Every structure is written in structure tokens, then in C-alpha cells.
């Protein structure tokens, strides 16, 4: 397989780019932030996303989606990264759609996937509990109770948790924190008794929530996949999410870089365009190289997920780690090279810096994935 | 089965049947590389067998046309062959500046007679080439070169000095940049010419490097007589050929960042540093450095694959090889810094049996040239700034 987009994929990119840059430029995020919008994204735009077929991209055709792969999902994420469009796409169409298609029973798939595809159901994945992403350390307790389970514990950094119609919750049904065995995924109604959801406005003006479970009841048919054996399913879904966020960071890096190079060609000091100074030329060139290499690594991870899912772990770790360091560099250079203007809220660059910081933490930062890679390679 | 999958299974079977086991082990010394040429010797019988079998299939140069001794593979087949060779650890049967640098330039700029004369001999490993580019006063500023070619009937008389000529003392022929018009602007009076290193007036002097080796030479020309028909491309337009060739040279050098030492770096480090009960390196900072390095190495490898695919799709930027050259060489220097750190005191032994004659420190020192030869990192960044980013005044 060639490590470039094919014709259909290029067309998808063009249509996603057209829609997103037209309907949701960075000013869209700015408006939502300034208005302290309760939803944090535009439901009308999400309807448009569904009509374009994006919301059901990863949903199998049998359940009303287009049955496309991670490369296609990554293409949309990259375009989202270019304008920082706040959207349920990641939580609902990438994570929840993957979790349900990969782990759901026929009944669960029929119940939820068509609604994800047509944009009428929003979902969120509740994994993290502490300050850092450590899925193996999941402590939230699932205790058997009658025909089902009772969930107790805390979740943090649940992307779109405040608007979700469905929560997918990782819980420990056996064993103790740190063990692979004993994790179970549950489909939970966020309105159920014993669940308290607090929206946490984040630094990047995107959406997340803290959720407290206090003996929240789930029926046996709310188990996604197998009891105690949920880690493999979770890890697969997380890998899709990691590659998707890496794609978002590629789009974000590329956009910041483009804006910065444009600025270097406009801004004059000492009677010269600042882009004439070799100190800045070389830094810009280094950043360009960094972004291009990261772009290749991310596409490699997406293709590997589509071609041989179970062997994609290393490629995904490489992609997420690289994308994190590249985006961090891109936004820092972006602000620095914009000088004082880069520090102002009026300029968009700061929005990219804030989003990059959040994307770093999502599903494991660069250090986490470097450690993962070392473990995979036994050192 | 698609044609390509059929080609893959046939190729795998052929390689399995024909690549001697010794040729599937990681290279450990310079002797493991076969360079070809008039005075060449094989360092082992398996090396000879492997070379001859690959040569007979045209797979020393798999993507060159068959009429010039190549394998005639299309880009997709070539990618399959490379992947299959990499998967079994098969060594390259022939290393050659003729293959990496001159061949592509001849295929693009050479006359039919020049292609017929030189390409089959490169493919068959009969002639070993060296590159006459840099001069004592023309390094990064290559186009200021002064070696002159004076017209004398059907010939040129070439006089001047080259430096950093890789393996000039072993080479049979040289591809060389000479000034054919001393009055033109510096990029405009240069020609690209080929001649035999056995010609009267050619001499070489190896340069001792910090590694203790002498892979480079000073090369002197004193009225060397060369037929004008040996010019490749147009007289005085040699800079076009030179730049085109440099793209291939840079792609080759950037590949060094991907060429490992065989075993994963983490395991090499574990030999000397040791591991804890969970199998993690005892030195957590070094472990982090290695993992970060391996992330960048894997990303570079994907970028190299993508560069080839973009070129095939006609979407490659011609200056992208400069970007890869910069990153690949800096990465290779990092690899060897890590190897030295991992080896600790053991890696400091310079002349001992155990260190195989100081292989590790000598290789470490050799890599310092990577970001200088073929255009320094700073020159590469300048090219990216100017040709890709279009920054002003670059």
C-alpha cells in the first residue's frame, strides 16, 4: 500500500476541508467560548456533519454508516485540527462507534450505531481517573448486584461527557489496579440514578466532564464485550483514538506552521522582512521537516490499523508520541515567531497552543507512548 | 491473487532459495560491504555467490531498465523486493556510488552511447566510481569550484584539486565537476564529465580522519586528457546534472538514519547497562532517550517510504531530499551518541580484540561527517527555507 492518500481519500479530504473551513473557522470556536455556550459545540453543524456522512464514517454499512477505515477517520480529524472545530466527532463517531462495532452484541449495535450514524445520539468514553492517562490503573468498581452491576468511583477528562446520551465506562470488575484482567466496559445511561456529571471547561475551550458514580446500576445487557476481559477491546479503541488525535495534531501543526510562515513573509523589523533572518529561516525549516516526518508516521499508523489491527500498537505509539512533540514545537515556535502578537487573545495562535496541550494529554502523552514502545520492544 | 501478490510470493521463494544464510546476518565490518570494481575481491564465498545471483537477475539495480543490466521492476515491484529483503535481513549485494548517484543522473541526462557504455558495468559491479565535487575552497559553496577544463581539439585538459573524494584510491572512474567557462557566472560555467582514474595526471592521497580511517582522499589532476564526448548533459550546464545527482546522494545519506546495527538499540544497551526484574533498562534516562530515538527512527522510515510513494505519484517536491538528508544524518549522529553512552567505558577501547579494533568508537566518529558530506545540515535547512518555504532572501 502506498503511503499517500488515494483518489477517494483525497476527495474526502477536499469535502471535509470545504465544509469545516467554511462553516467552522477558528472564529466559530471563539464565539462559543466567548458566549460560554452551554453545549460547547453547534448542534446545527453536527447535523450538517451527519448529512455529509462524516458522523457514520466508521459505522458498518449494515448499521447505516459508510464502513470506512481509520485513514478516512484521520482525514476528517486532520481537517478538524486545522480550525479547532469543537465537535462530537472524536467521542461519538470515532471512539464510541469503534467500541460498539468492535465489541458490541448485535442488539447493542442495532440499538446505537444507526443513531450514531445519523447524528442523533451522542456518546462519550469514560476512562481516565487520575491526572495522567493510565488505563491499566482503572479503579472504578463494578460490583455484581442481582442481574447486573453497581458502579462506584470517579472519572475525569471525559470528552463530551456533559452532552452524552450514552456513556461507555471502563470499570474494574475483578482484580486490582494495574492488572490486565478484570476490566469490563459498560454502556451506561448518563441519566441513571447515582451519576453526577460536572462539566469542566478546559483550557482549550473544548468540552470535558468529571463524572462521579455512586452505586449506579447497570443491567447485564449493558456489558460491552466480555466481563473481566475488556482490556483488549479498550486498548484497540484507544489505539484508534490515539491515531485520530495524532491526525488532529498534524492538522493543527500544519495550520500553525502555515500561519507562522505567512507572518515571516509580512512582518518587517530592522527594515527587513523577519523571514530574511537566517535564525528564523532555519527554525522554520526544522519545523517543516518535523511536521512532514510526523505526517508520514501518522498515516503509517492509520494504514496499519486498517490493514493489520492487532499489530498496530507500535505504529500508533510512534504516531501519538511524534505528533505530540511536533505539535508542542509547532505552537511554541508559532507564538515565539509572532512575537507580542502571539501572546494576544485577539490572535488565533493561542487557541492552537491550548488545544495542542490538551491533545498531548488525550490517551497518553509523548512520554507515555515512548514508555509503551520500550515495553513492546522489551527494554 | 493479484499480479503483485504473485510477484511477492515468487520473490520471497527465490530469496529464500538463493540468499546464503551468512548474507542474512547484520553487517559488522567494512569487509561485509561489496563495492565491485576492477581490483575488487570478495571477502567470502557467500558474498560472491549472493552478488552473482542477484546480478544475474538484474537485482543489483532492480528498477533500472533491463537493457542496461537492471531488473526492469516497476515501483510497486521494487517496493515489494525491498520489503522482502528487509524482512529476511538480506544484505545489499552491491554497494556503489555508480548505483546511488551516477546511474540516476546518466539515466536522465546521458546520451544513449553513454548509457550503453557505463550503466551495464555499474550494474555488474565491474567499474567502481568516485565523486569529484568538493574542492579545498569549494565545500558548502560548491559552485565556486576552480578545477578547470581547457579545450584542446576534441579533448579537455583538466587541472585542479578535489577533496573529500570518497574511496578515490580504490575507484576506477570518476564523475567530476569542472569549470569549462571561467568567464561565466559561477553556476553557469560548470560541466559534468566522466573519466578513468588510471588516466595520466591523476593522483590520490588518502586523508587520515578522526576515526583513524581514511575513507576520503585528496585527488589531484595535472593536465588530464579527457575526450569531450565524456561530458554528460550540456557543456556549461553541468550544475543541473550536479544538483539532480545531489538529490540522489542526499536520499542515500538520509537512509543512514534508518540503517540500524541489526539488533534493537534497547537490547544492545541492555548488554552493558543491565535490566531490572521487569526487563526495563537499569538506566531510566537512557531508556527514555532510546525510546524517543526509536520513535523518530520509525517516523523517518515512514517518511522515506512516503517520499518514494509521493515521487511515484508525481507529488514530490524536488528539494524534499534535502529535508530527509538533514533529518536522517542528525538522527544517525544521535544513534551513535546513544551507542557510545550505552557502551560506557567498554565503548572507549580503540585497539583491542574485544572491541573488534574499536569498531564502535570509530563508527561513532565517522557519523560526524554525515551532517557535513553531501551538503551540511545548515545548507540543507537553507535549501528547505528557500525552495520549499519560499522565504524571502533565503
A5 touches chain B (CB under 8 A): no
Backbone angles phi, psi at B320, to 5 degrees: -65, -25
List pLDDT tens digits, range A241-286. Answer: 999 999 999 999 999 999 999 999 999 999 999 999 999 999 999 9
Predicted confidence at residue B87, as pLDDT, reads 87
Percent with pLDDT over 90 in chain B = 81
Phi, psi of B116 (to 5 degrees): -60, -35
- At B256, the pLDDT band (50, 70, 90 cuts) reads low
Instruction: Categorize the per-residue pLDDT at B261 as very low, low, confident or very high, splitting at 50, 70 and 90.
Output: very low
The beta-carbon neighbor of A261 closest among B290, B326, B389 is B389
Q: Which residues from chain B sit within 8 angstroms of residue A314, using beta carbons?
A: 298
- What band does B76 get if pLDDT is binned at 50, 70 and 90? confident
With CB atoms and an 8 Å threshold, state whether B302 touches A297: yes
Domains and CATH numbers, chain A: 7-121 (1.10.540.10), 125-229 (2.40.110.10), 232-376 (1.20.140.10)
Q: What is the predicted pLDDT for the residue at B262?
A: 64
pLDDT at A369 over 60: yes
Alpha helices in chain B (DSSP H): 3-18, 45-57, 75-88, 97, 103-109, 112-123, 238-254, 265-273, 284-312, 320-343, 359-367, 377-383
Q: Express as a percent the part of chain A with pLDDT over 70.
A: 100
- Which residues have a Cβ under 8 Å from the Cβ of B106 and sit 6 or more positions away? B114, B115, B118, B119, B232
A53: alpha, beta or left? (left if phi > 0; alpha if psi -120 to 50): left
| Mean pLDDT within B12-30 | 90
- pLDDT for residue B75: 85
Gap between the Cα atoms of B178 and B160, Å rounded = 9
pLDDT of residue B255: 65
* pLDDT reported for residue A16: 98
Q: Compute the distance between CA of residue A232 and CA of residue B210 in angstroms, rounded to an integer.
A: 52
Q: How much of chain A exceeds pLDDT 90, in percent? A: 99
> A52-104: per-residue pLDDT in tens?
999 999 999 999 999 999 999 999 999 999 999 999 999 999 999 999 999 99
Interface test with A, best of B299, B301, B315 (most A CBs within 10 A): B299
Residues making up chain A, counted from first to last: 379
Residue of A276, A295, A318 with shortest CB distance to B295: A318
The count of CB pairs under 8 A between chains A and B is 140
pLDDT of residue B394: 62
Contacts of B282 in chain A (CB under 8 A): none
Mean pLDDT throughout B260-286? 87
What average pLDDT does range B144-166 have in this prediction? Answer: 96
* Sign of the C-alpha dihedral computed for residues B343, B346, B350 and B356 taken in this order: negative
Q: What is the DSSP string of A28-73?
A: HHHHHHHTT-SSSS-HHHHHHHHHTT-TTTTS-GGGTS----HHHH
Is residue B230 pLDDT above 90, yes or no? Answer: yes
What gap in Å lies between CA B368 and CA B182, rounded to an integer?
Answer: 34
The predicted complex's ipTM stands at 0.96
B299/A294 Cβ within 8 A: yes
Q: Which residues partner with A268 through β-bridges?
A: A273
Query: What is the value of pTM for the model shown?
Result: 0.91
Residue of A312, A373, A320, A253 whose CA lies nearest to B293: A373
- In the predicted model, is pLDDT for residue B15 greater than 70? yes
Task: Give CA–CA dist B279/A187, Å, rounded.
Answer: 37
Whether B1 shows a pLDDT value over 80: the answer reads no
Amino acid at each position: 500500500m502506498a503511503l499517500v492518500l488515494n483518489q477517494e481519500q483525497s476527495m474526502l479530504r477536499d469535502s471535509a476541508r470545504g465544509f469545516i473551513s467554511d462553516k467552522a473557522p477558528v472564529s466559530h470556536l471563539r464565539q462559543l467560548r466567548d458566549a460560554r455556550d452551554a453545549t460547547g459545540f453547534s448542534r446545527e453543524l453536527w447535523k450538517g456533519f451527519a448529512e455529509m456522512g462524516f458522523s457514520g464514517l466508521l459505522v458498518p454499512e449494515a448499521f447505516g454508516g459508510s464502513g470506512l477505515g481509520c485513514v478516512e477517520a484521520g482525514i476528517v480529524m486532520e481537517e478538524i485540527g486545522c480550525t479547532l472545530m469543537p465537535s462530537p466527532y472524536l467521542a461519538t463517531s470515532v471512539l464510541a462507534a469503534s467500541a460498539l462495532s468492535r465489541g458490541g452484541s448485535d442488539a447493542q449495535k442495532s440499538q446505537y450505531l444507526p443513531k450514531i450514524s445519523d447524528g442523533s445520539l451522542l456518546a462519550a468514553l469514560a476512562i481516565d481517573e487520575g491526572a495522567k492517562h493510565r488505563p491499566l490503573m482503572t479503579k472504578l468498581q463494578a460490583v455484581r448486584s442481582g442481574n447486573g452491576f453497581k458502579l462506584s468511583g470517579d472519572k475525569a477528562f471525559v470528552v463530551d461527557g456533559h452532552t452524552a446520551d450514552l456513556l461507555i465506562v471502563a470499570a474494574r470488575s475483578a482484580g486490582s489496579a494495574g492488572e490486565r484482567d478484570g476490566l469490563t466496559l459498560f454502556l451506561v445511561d448518563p441519566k441513571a440514578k447515582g451519576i453526577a456529571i460536572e462539566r469542566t471547561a478546559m483550557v482549550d475551550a473544548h468540552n470535558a466532564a468529571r463524572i462521579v458514580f455512586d452505586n449506579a446500576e447497570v443491567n447485564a445487557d449493558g456489558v460491552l464485550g466480555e466481563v473481566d476481559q475488556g482490556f483488549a477491546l479498550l486498548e484497540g479503541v484507544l489505539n484508534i483514538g490515539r491515531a485520530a488525535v495524532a491526525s488532529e495534531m498534524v492538522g493543527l501543526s500544519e495550520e500553525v506552521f502555515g500561519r507562522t510562515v505567512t507572518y515571516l513573509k509580512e512582518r518587517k523589523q530592522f527594515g527587513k522582512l523577519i523571514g530574511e533572518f537566517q535564525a528564523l529561516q532555519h527554525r522554520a525549516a526544522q519545523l517543516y521537516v518535523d511536521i512532514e516526518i510526523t505526517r508520514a508516521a501518522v498515516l503509517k499508523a492509520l494504514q496499519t490499523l486498517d490493514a493489520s489491527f492487532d499489530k498496530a500498537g507500535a505504529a500508533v505509539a510512534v504516531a501519538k508520541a511524534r505528533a505530540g512533540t511536533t505539535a508542542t514545537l509547532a505552537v511554541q515556535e508559532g507564538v515565539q515567531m509572532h512575537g507580542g502578537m502571539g501572546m494576544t487573545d485577539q490572535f488565533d495562535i493561542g487557541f492552537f497552543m491550548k488545544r495542542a496541550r490538551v491533545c498531548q494529554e488525550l490517551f497518553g502523552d509523548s512520554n507515555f507512548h515512548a514508555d509503551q514502545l520500550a515495553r513492546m520492544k522489551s527494554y | 491473487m493479484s499480479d503483485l501478490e504473485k510477484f511477492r510470493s515468487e520473490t520471497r521463494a527465490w530469496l529464500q532459495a538463493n540468499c546464503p544464510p551468512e548474507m542474512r546476518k547484520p553487517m559488522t565490518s567494512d569487509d561485509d560491504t561489496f563495492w565491485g570494481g576492477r581490483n575488487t575481491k570478495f571477502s567470502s564465498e557467500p558474498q560472491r555467490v549472493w552478488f552473482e545471483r542477484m546480478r544475474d537477475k538484474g537485482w543489483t539495480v532492480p528498477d533500472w531498465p533491463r537493457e542496461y543490466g537492471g531488473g526492469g521492476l516497476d515501483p510497486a515491484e521494487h517496493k515489494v523486493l525491498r520489503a522482502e529483503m528487509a524482512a529476511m535481513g538480506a544484505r545489499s549485494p552491491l554497494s556503489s556510488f555508480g548505483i546511488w548517484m551516477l546511474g540516476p543522473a546518466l539515466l536522465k541526462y546521458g546520451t544513449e552511447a553513454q548509457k550503453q557504455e557505463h550503466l551495464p558495468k555499474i550494474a555488474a559491479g565491474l567499474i567502481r566510481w568516485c565523486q569529484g565535487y568538493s574542492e579545498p575552497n569549494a565545500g558548502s559553496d560548491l559552485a565556486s569550484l576552480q578545477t578547470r577544463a581547457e579545450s584542446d581539439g576534441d579533448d579537455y585538459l583538466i587541472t585542479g584539486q578535489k577533496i573529500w573524494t570518497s574511496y578515490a584510491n580504490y575507484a576506477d572512474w570518476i564523475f567530476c565537476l569542472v569549470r569549462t567557462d571561467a568567464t561565466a557566472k559561477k553556476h553557469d560555467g560548470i560541466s559534468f564529465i566522466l573519466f578513468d582514474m588510471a588516466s595520466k595526471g591523476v593522483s590520490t592521497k588518502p586523508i587520515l580522519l578522526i576515526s583513524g580511517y581514511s575513507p576520503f582522499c585528496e585527488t589531484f589532476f595535472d593536465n588530464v586528457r579527457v575526450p569531450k564526448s565524456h561530458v554528460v548533459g550540456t557543456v556549461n550546464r553541468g550544475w543541473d546534472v550536479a544538483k539532480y545527482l545531489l538529490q540522489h546522494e542526499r536520499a542515500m545519506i538520509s537512509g543512514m538514519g534508518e540503517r540500524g546495527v541489526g539488533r534493537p538499540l534497547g537490547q544492545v544497551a541492555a548488554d552493558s547497562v543491565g535490566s531490572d526484574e521487569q526487563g526495563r533498562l537499569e538506566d531510566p534516562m537512557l531508556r527514555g532517550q532510546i525510546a524517543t530515538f526509536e520513535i523518530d527512527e520509525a517516523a523517518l522510515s515512514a517518511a522515506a517510504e512516503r517520499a518514494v510513494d509521493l515521487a511515484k505519484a508525481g507529488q514530490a517536491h524536488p528539494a524534499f531530499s534535502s529535508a530527509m538528508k538533514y533529518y536522517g544524518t542528525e538522527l544517525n549522529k544521535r544513534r551513535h551518541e546513544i551507542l557510545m553512552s550505552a557502551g560506557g567505558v567498554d565503548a572507549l577501547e580503540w585497539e583491542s580484540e574485544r572491541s573488534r579494533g574499536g569498531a564502535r568508537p570509530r563508527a561513532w566518529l565517522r557519523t560526524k561527517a554525515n551532517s557535513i558530506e553531501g551538503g551540511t545540515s545548515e545548507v540543507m535547512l537553507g535549501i528547505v527555507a528557500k525552495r520549499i518555504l519560499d522565504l524571502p532572501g533565503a
